[in-house]
Amino acid sequence: MMTLPWNHIATLLVLPWLLEYSMVISQTDTGNALNDMLEIYRRGQAQLDLENLDESQDLLAKYDFIVVGAGTAGCALAARLSENPRWRVLLLEAGGPENYAMDIPIVAHLLQLGEINWKYRTEPSNSYCLAMNDNRCNWPRGKVMGGSSVLNYMMYTRGNRRDYDRWEALGNPGWSFKDVLPYFKKYEGSSVPDAEEDYVGRNGPVKVSYVNWRSRIAEAFVDAAQQDGLKYRDYNGRIQNGVAFLHTTTRNSTRWSSNRAYLYPLKGKRRNLHVRKNALVTKVLIDPQTKTAYGIMVQTEGRMQKILARREVIVSAGAINTPQLLMLSGVGPAKHLREVGIKPVADLAVGYNLQDHTAPAVTFTTNATSLKFEDFSDPTLINRFNRMEGPYGSPGGCEAIAFWDLDHERDEDGWPDIELFLVGGSMSSNPAISRAFGLKKVIYDTLFAEIEDKSLNAFMIFPMILRPKSRGRIMLKSSDPFKYPLIHANYFAHPYDVDISVRGLLKAISLMEQRGMQAINAQLWEKKIPTCKQHPYKSWAYWACYVRHFTFTIYHYSGTAKMGPKSDRAAVVDHRLRVHGIKNLRVADASIMPEIMSGHPNGPVFMIAEKAADMIKQDHGFIQ
């Protein structure tokens, strides 16, 4: 097998989107290397046609269903609705196609630097995102077939059963854990060998697996968490509290996006499903008299086009784009809409209730080998990747995960309030990581440059708060659909969120006292933030300051089109995801979550889409 010069591999990894154009790169050494690497990756993989279904066909004037957004929910919905051969379904995506490089799990953080990311940023703040450029956090979102399931870190969690019981208690019948569990099992194609059989799905389209590689650091973390009192368990089973090596939405070292899971198998088999890439929907058309959605306006191929819907328009554009589109269409807070020149059609709390999970990463040094960018020049690893082994299958270096109920640590079956997940590298492992987070240079140089300069082995633990109490808001900047919305994250508005973040951070540090971590000589990297020097080092006030600086989003934006009964003034959709007061308009994505669930929401969004598809079929008389 060939070995490639490191500079060629680096070109591939840093600019993965170049693969889309690999056939037109001039026949230089770099062009040949890119094509060679592409061939290496193709070997042993299914030969999949990455073009979308029926893209060559002209768009029809009218479809039964129009699904806006080909992300995690949209791909699933379009696939399920088109199971009825009598329905014509249109799926619209603002971004372009996936390519092979996006399937390599280890390069997840690099994808944020390309054009498949919307590259949103929060509004400036003096109380959070203080370590980031302009005091603004980067908020990545996928602009590509598969949406953020192509951009994320493939960490698979369902959350806690109490999350869904809580959704039902808030006035949403049919959303308790016993009601949603069948939908989790329906889409899961899990090969996790020690998953609890009563709780896992084995035959669904979304592949879930362990990674075929584990570092000594991850093993030490799992050992230390058990020594701290957690049990090793299937955290997606009956009890969530526990520690485990990460369950991932991968199979054979390959990312398993929603596009791959639901649409790839339909190529050439589903003539009633049309998909159009690079198609930005700018408005949902709503009759102001009958309050009925009847179509959309979309910009595609350089022109604006009207497409009608016989039955429904379904918005699955995510927790930022969905509220933006609804408000552009006249559905939202009436006062705010009038302020930007939009006539309200329905006065609803669109854009409110914005929630996210944050985690102030803590860095540790070790004598064990950590992941470093230069390691990928090792031809041995290239060979191992060709056999679907090695760290290439590790999702951005994330390897292990643990859940604690810090308020009730003796309750084995508690409702966890903190999650710790391990990344087997540091901010200095790859220059793209700090760029992706948007760290200020002075912060990076002060805290992390020395790790890079001394070639130290280091890793990070992210203490992620699971049930934040703060709420933010998405607002329109103007009535121009091409202007990005305003994102007011409002992190730490509630003091609980600072408190639990600090407690989670201290829990991470305390693991270094356990035998597992001592075995790899793991130690806190004790570099001080210069702008927190007014507080005694390691005091509670210092760590609170630390938390407000390293406000790392975990990309879990949700809640901005809240599900709830009409009596709930904050609700936008009902329990069947129909927009209150508007006929033939639904929302199905993370924006409907009344409260964010206790984990990573990509899996729950698959569940929402599967349940939404069944509800739509029921409402339109299609019984399978």
Binding-site residue numbers are: 144, 281
Q: Are 473 and 489 in contact (CB under 8 A)?
A: no
**Phi, psi dihedral angles at 62 (to 5 degrees):** -150, 140
Pairing of strands 458-465, 362-365: antiparallel
* Distance (Å, whole) CA 240 – CA 230: 11
488 counts as catalytic? no
Q: Which amino acid, residue 391?
A: P
Pairing of strands 62-68, 303-315: parallel
Structure tokens at 359: 């985690």
The structure tokens 């069944």 sit at 614
Q: How many CB atoms within 10 Å of residue 120? A: 18
**Phi, psi dihedral angles at 182 (to 5 degrees):** -60, -30
HEC states along 201-249? CCCCCEEEECCCCCCHHHHHHHHHHHHCCCCECCCCCCCCCEEEECCEC
**Could you tell me which residues come within 8 angstroms of residue 460 by beta carbon, excluding any fewer than 6 positions away?**
361, 362, 363, 364, 422, 423, 425, 426, 427
Q: Are 459 and 425 in contact (CB under 8 A)?
A: yes
556 counts as catalytic? yes
* Distance (Å, whole) CA 555 – CA 92: 22
The structure tokens 């210069």 sit at 530
**Could you tell me which residues come within 8 angstroms of residue 86 by beta carbon, excluding any fewer than 6 positions away?**
272
Q: How many CB atoms within 10 Å of residue 537? A: 11
Enumerate the known binding-site residues for FAD.
144, 281
* Distance (Å, whole) CA 303 – CA 279: 10
Q: How many CB atoms within 10 Å of residue 367? A: 12
576, burial (CB in 10 Å: exposed 0-12, middle 13-18, buried 19+): middle
Three-state DSSP class for residue 140: coil
* Distance (Å, whole) CA 169 – CA 172: 7
* Distance (Å, whole) CA 555 – CA 494: 20
- 549, 556, 575, 580: the active-site residue: 556
Which residues are identified as catalytic?
A: 556, 600
